[in-house]
């Protein structure tokens, strides 16, 4: 079999995306080239690696075996590059980091910019995912590190505590709820809400708790960022639930009032997760140390 590293990376992207088209995009390859590489892998191996479905693909048992070994090979290569990077300039390290909305909004941009400025030979691929998706990706070797809420089932992943993640209600200054000391989600579900776009991890988390309370959100508008959500809430369009750090950052400028949520699930802690911290490449371990320091400083 003549699989090269490009083949292995492409195959993992396709398996994760459940689509050759999207896998090709993530790998930076044209669809025709990616399809030809996948066919070549199947011909070389003498067995189908993907089951073609009406809406995407999924790995066959042989494909799952290839994905497992591809993750191992690429992880070992990344660890080698990271360790060699301690001795030779020009070798770049790469870390794939998945995170929930709260960390992306609260501190990650500042924390990562400081790390990247201090480590010009390291690249970081940051994607926002739900806690469940992040745990699955890290456990499956599709990401190096994940930032998730500690309320998530973490399987066999190793974790490090990062920072508190309190969710609060934000309302306009003149809203009847502005004077409340605390509210429960079930008591405000009749109110119009301002929320985040489809696919944002925080919105998915909140939707799950609303469903368990027996009623969905009445979303008037979905926006792409928490600052925009807070500004819209300040103008009386609706109320919103956001991380406390984001609310404080937007509070004075936006003119919002912050009301604590009484629900136990609103007080979480963010944790940093990996399959094995000691097995990470050197540059990824440096990122871990940096994030733990930054998370503690801001939490």
For residues 150 and 287, membership in a common domain is answered with yes
For residues 134 and 278, membership in a common domain is answered with yes
CB 143 within 8 A of CB 134: yes
For residues 159 and 225, membership in a common domain is answered with no
pLDDT range class, residue 92, cuts 50, 70, 90: low
- The answer to whether residue 70 is domain-embedded is yes
For residues 257 and 275, membership in a common domain is answered with no
- The answer to whether residue 110 is domain-embedded is yes
Strand pairing category for 256-260 and 56-59: unpaired
For residues 289 and 221, membership in a common domain is answered with no
CB 134 within 8 A of CB 100: yes
Which stretch of 231-240, 242-251, 279-288 has the lowest confidence by average pLDDT? 242-251
Q: At what angle do helices 282-298 and 108-118 cross, to 10 degrees?
A: 140
CATH classification of the domain holding 241: 3.40.190.10
Residue 87, pLDDT score: 52
Is the per-residue pLDDT at 25 higher than 90? Answer: yes
pLDDT per residue as tens digits for the range 40-58: 999 988 899 999 998 899 9
Strand pairing category for 240-243 and 158-172: antiparallel
pLDDT per residue as tens digits for the range 192-246: 999 988 767 788 888 889 988 888 888 999 988 888 888 899 999 999 999 887 8
For residues 196 and 122, membership in a common domain is answered with no
Q: Residue 265: is it exposed, middle or buried by C-beta count within 10 angstroms (0-12/13-18/19+)?
A: middle
pLDDT range class, residue 3, cuts 50, 70, 90: confident
For residues 53 and 191, membership in a common domain is answered with no
For residues 176 and 218, membership in a common domain is answered with yes
For residues 150 and 171, membership in a common domain is answered with no
What gap in Å lies between CA 239 and CA 230, rounded to an integer? 9
CB 93 within 8 A of CB 123: yes
Does this model's pTM top 0.75? My answer is: no
CATH classification of the domain holding 17: 1.10.10.10
What gap in Å lies between CA 128 and CA 224, rounded to an integer? 12
Which stretch of 120-134, 151-165, 248-262 has the lowest confidence by average pLDDT? 248-262
Could you identify the residue written with the tokens 């990616």? Answer: 34
- The answer to whether residue 87 is domain-embedded is no
For residues 108 and 188, membership in a common domain is answered with no
**CA-based nearest residue to 105, from 27, 231, 38, 200:** 200
Query: Residue 58 sits in which domain range?
Result: 5-82
**CA-based nearest residue to 188, from 164, 166, 206, 162:** 206
DSSP-H helix ranges across the chain: 5-17, 20-27, 31-45, 61-84, 101-106, 108-118, 131-139, 201-212, 226-234, 244-254, 282-298
pLDDT range class, residue 298, cuts 50, 70, 90: very low
Q: Specify the number of domains making up the chain.
A: 3
What gap in Å lies between CA 74 and CA 52, rounded to an integer? 25
For residues 197 and 186, membership in a common domain is answered with yes
């Amino acid at each position: 079999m003549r699989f090269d590293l490009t083949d292995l990376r492409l195959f993992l992207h396709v398996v994760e995306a459940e689509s050759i088209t999207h896998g090709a995009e993530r790998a930076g390859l044209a669809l025709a080239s990616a399809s030809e590489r996948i066919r070549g892998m199947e011909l070389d191996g003498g067995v189908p690696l993907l089951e073609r479905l009406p809406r995407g693909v999924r790995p066959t048992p042989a494909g799952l075996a290839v994905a497992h070994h591809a993750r191992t090979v690429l992880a070992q290569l990344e660890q080698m590059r990271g360790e060699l990077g301690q001795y030779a300039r020009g070798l770049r390290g790469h870390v794939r980091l998945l995170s929930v909305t709260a960390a992306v909004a609260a501190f990650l941009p500042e924390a990562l910019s400081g790390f990247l400025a201090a480590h010009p030979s390291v690249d970081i691929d940051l994607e926002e995912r739900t806690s469940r998706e992040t745990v699955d990706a890290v456990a499956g070797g599709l990401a190096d590190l994940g930032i998730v809420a500690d309320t998530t089932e973490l399987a066999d992943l190793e974790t490090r505590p990062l920072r508190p993640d309190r969710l609060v209600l934000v309302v306009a200054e003149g809203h009847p709820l502005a004077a409340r000391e605390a509210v429960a989600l079930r008591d405000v579900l009749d109110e119009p809400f301002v929320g985040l776009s489809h696919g944002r991890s925080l919105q998915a988390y909140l939707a799950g708790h609303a469903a368990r309370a027996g009623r969905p959100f009445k979303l008037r508008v979905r926006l792409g960022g928490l600052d925009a959500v807070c500004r819209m809430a300040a103008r009386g369009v609706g109320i919103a639930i956001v991380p406390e750090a984001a609310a404080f950052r937007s509070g004075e400028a936006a003119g919002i009032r912050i009301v604590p949520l009484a629900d136990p699930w609103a007080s979480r802690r963010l944790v940093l997760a990996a399959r094995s911290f000691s097995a990470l490449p050197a540059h990824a371990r440096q990122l871990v140390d940096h994030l733990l320091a930054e998370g503690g400083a801001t939490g």
